Structure 1
Amino acid sequence: MTTAATNSRRSSVSSISSQIKMMDISDDLRKRKLTMEQLSVDDQERIVSDIMYTRIKDKRSHVPHGISEEQALLNLVKGLIGTGILSLPKAFSNAGLWAGFVMLVVLNCCNIFCLRMVIKRSHQFCMLVECGAIDYGKTAELTFSLGPPALRKFGKTARILVNSFIMICQLGFCSVYLLFIAENMRQVVDGNGVLPIQAYVAFTLIPIIPLCCVRHLKYLTLPSTVANLLYLISFVITFQYLFLQLPPSSRLPAIRAMDTLPLAFGNIMFSFEAVCLVLPIENRMKTPRFYMTWNGVVNTGCILVTLLNLAVGFYGYLSFGSDIQDSITLNLPSTVYVNL
């Protein structure tokens, strides 16, 4: 590690550890009569991290309806998998088989890195302001309020903007979900299209509105588990058709022209849908430390969904080639088995 990187890490640790009283440092450190300056950067980070997560856990111990790591993972996976995954074969078609593969891996890695950065900063802010959890808007406000002097007056504005963008983003995602469910319901129930799509949207709202009224993620774990099982069944059926006759990958272009790459970029970013859910799920965890470990909730959930996205996009385009539709479900045979 370079000297500059080491100094940067030491400065970051110092800025957080300066908020910690010496009485909060472990008994082992006090017995040895050591100071933070006498420790390596890794040891400093470990001690500060231990104190930070202990404080956050203590604050959350008094909050009802907390969720475990398993419940958090189920809710996160359910949020990450959405209708966007069905358009990934089209994204690979716009980018090229191997260019799409690389784009999806790189973009999802960037997403995971940014998510972890936001979560880490929110944990640090929780310790600084002595609270158990903060949302996206509050994180943005504290980022400005505790940042450079010239930007501190924009803290409240940043919170309003972030909350507004999240609302618009969720409105778009939910609209796509409703239309997707309604259209598939109409294909199964009314192939001739006697009723308008608006009627099926209204029917779809009947079970969805009660679910949206549930305020605690703890009680959404069971619906998320059922949804994940249904996802698993549907993808098994989809892969069953994709793997029937897989042609060689050499028949498809490895990379497309530059003018279609932005379309692939949009589809890939849309498939990673749970950005707005990551922090709310974390805020309800009883043990926030396990949200960020190398094998924790964020890494496990995001990597599993990334692998699934790669499989659907790669094999969907490989199987149907230039005939791939905007949604892979349109390429599947219209049978009762597939429709259900």
Structure 2
Amino acid sequence: MKKFLADELTKCKMQDSQHATVPLLPELNRHNSAGTTSFLKTIFNGLNALSGLGILSVPYALSSGGWLSLILMIIIAATTFYTGLLIKRCMEDDPCIRSYPDIGYKAFGSTGRLIISILMNLELYLVATGSLILLGDNLHRLLPNVEIHVYGDIVIGGRQSLVLLVAIVMMPTVWIDNMSTLSYVSATGVFTSLVILGSILWLGVSVDGIGLQHKGVLFDWNGLPTAFSLYTFCFCSHAVFPTLYSSMWNPRQFSFALLLCFMLCTVVIASMAILGYLMFGSDLQSQITLNLPTDRMSAKVAVYTALLNPIAKYGLTLKPTVDSIENHFKWLRENRSRSLFMRTALVGSSVVLALMLPFFGHLMSLAGSLFGVPTSILLPCFCYLKISGAYKRIGVESAVIVFAVSMGIVILVFGTYTSVLQIVYNL
């Protein structure tokens, strides 16, 4: 018996060394056999994971799809919550599973791990690029006259110069290996989301505010693919769920903690979407902060708060991608200079992409449909069916999974097609 337990522990440690996990608060990255995180802290960490860039684009998503698209948002939230439960069930099957790629390995071997790792890292790379676009757009509204003079006559002005400056400022966060401090700073996701929501609410209902006068449209077929892609992007945090589950002191409470996270996140996202649509109607831009007047204090609070989270999370967002590259190419990790060059090149490529495709809404829509749908809807279903053998049984569970997969495929196909088409059209 002791030999069996020792072999299992050795096997788990070997699996842990083969991949990089998504960084959260430091205590969540301890791979202990028993977690130490409380129920309330798990909820807090889950809300932080779900509180990302998507909250700024949901008003635009609602304006694209119309009021009835809110029903679709609730369906997507319920579906992604259910697939989160499927991830939990996969982890219950094998105590060695500690990360999302581990689930792919358990279900489909090395190919499954590779597919999940690639999709995760590409999604994170697009999110990091979206952060640069968001920062450049909003800083340009606040500082419209900033210019960079290069070798005399060469001048880089406007939004491009601010994207470059922001990238230079955030570059050191990608160079460092110890992310503990940034983990705590980035854990302000819940706070910043509530501050932004409160500031926009005040701007809408105060006596001298903008008002909630726009009625909007009931439904818009043409904008529906963009709407459901952005809604899906808001609930794409499934790569974090295995870490949350394994870190809990009592993993049996994970389902309830996840339910509360999704309910609270859905309320905040829906509130932001409704407020933004009532305030600006069809004039909404891809980020609601771009619609806010810069001469109001509440608007300034919302904009500056919105800038805080991407700055704090940029290094953390690219950390799994950096680790994956260095784990695959060992010679990079063995030499610090090579590692720094690779990290700098990674940020540089993100800057180039942000300058070439400065379309925040379309790029996040693409991230939601092309990468978010597989990692948050399709792969949890496929992995669970393979690990549990549920595909051999016909019942309510199979019907729910078939519905989730069908919906995911529709969003993947039409959302990706629409996003690519809009990006090409705007080039």
Calculate the TM-score normalised by the size of structure 2: 0.54
The answer for the alignment partner of 1:280 in structure 2 is 243
The 1:75–1:213 alpha-carbon spacing in structure 2 relative to 1, beyond 3 Å, is farther
Contact 1:94 1:263 in 2 (8 A): yes
The alpha-carbon deviation at position 311 of structure 1 amounts to 0.6
Query: Using the alignment, how far apart are the partners of 1:229 and 1:59 within structure 2?
Result: 29
The answer for the alignment partner of 2:270 in structure 1 is 310
Aligned pair partner of 2:65 in 73, 95, 98: 95
Query: Using the alignment, how far apart are the partners of 1:253 and 1:94 within structure 2?
Result: 9
Where 1:259 maps in the other structure, the secondary structure is coil
The answer for the alignment partner of 1:240 in structure 2 is 202
Contact 1:95 1:255 in 2 (8 A): yes
The alpha-carbon deviation at position 332 of structure 1 amounts to 0.9
1:162-208 Cα deviation digits (max 9, x unpaired): 111111111111221233234434543x3213141343232441574
Aligned pair partner of 1:77 in 20, 42, 47: 47
Structure 1 runs (4+) deviating above 6 angstroms are: none
Aligned pair partner of 1:202 in 153, 162, 167: 167
Residue 289 (1) aligns with residue 243 (2): no
Contact 2:54 2:230 in 1 (8 A): yes
The answer for the alignment partner of 2:375 in structure 1 is none
For 2:125, the aligned partner's letter is L
The answer for the alignment partner of 1:136 in structure 2 is 100
The alpha-carbon deviation at position 141 of structure 1 amounts to 2.1
The answer for the alignment partner of 1:162 in structure 2 is 116
The alpha-carbon deviation at position 308 of structure 1 amounts to 0.6
Query: Using the alignment, how far apart are the partners of 1:81 and 1:221 within structure 2?
Result: 14
Contact 2:49 2:237 in 1 (8 A): yes
1:191-235 Cα deviation digits (max 9, x unpaired): 21314134323244157437x74466xx77743554432332222
Calculate the TM-score normalised by the size of structure 1: 0.67
Where 1:276 maps in the other structure, the secondary structure is coil
1:38-77 to structure 2, matched below 5 A, reads 60-61=33-34, 66-77=36-47
Query: Using the alignment, how far apart are the partners of 1:304 and 1:334 within structure 2?
Result: 29
The answer for the alignment partner of 1:299 in structure 2 is 259
Query: Using the alignment, how far apart are the partners of 1:214 and 1:184 within structure 2?
Result: 29
Query: Using the alignment, how far apart are the partners of 1:314 and 1:187 within structure 2?
Result: 24
The alpha-carbon deviation at position 156 of structure 1 amounts to 1.7
1:239-285 Cα deviation digits (max 9, x unpaired): 1123342237xx432111x2221111111112223222222222222
Query: Using the alignment, how far apart are the partners of 2:136 and 2:216 within structure 1?
Result: 34
For 2:165, the aligned partner's letter is Y
Contact 2:77 2:235 in 1 (8 A): yes
Contact 2:60 2:286 in 1 (8 A): yes
For 1:83, the aligned partner's letter is L
The answer for the alignment partner of 2:89 in structure 1 is 120
Query: Using the alignment, how far apart are the partners of 1:259 and 1:165 within structure 2?
Result: 27
Query: Using the alignment, how far apart are the partners of 1:282 and 1:214 within structure 2?
Result: 23
Where 2:286 maps in the other structure, the secondary structure is coil
Contact 1:74 1:221 in 2 (8 A): no
Contact 2:47 2:189 in 1 (8 A): no
What RMSD over aligned residues (CA atoms) do the two structures have, in Å? 2.6
Query: Using the alignment, how far apart are the partners of 2:238 and 2:61 within structure 1?
Result: 20
Contact 1:75 1:224 in 2 (8 A): no
Query: Using the alignment, how far apart are the partners of 1:241 and 1:231 within structure 2?
Result: 15
1:320-339 to structure 2, matched below 5 A, reads 320-335=280-295, 337=297, 338-339=299-300
For 1:160, the aligned partner's letter is L
For 2:225, the aligned partner's letter is P
Where 1:60 maps in the other structure, the secondary structure is coil
For 1:184, the aligned partner's letter is N
The 1:83–1:191 alpha-carbon spacing in structure 2 relative to 1, beyond 3 Å, is same
Identity %: 21
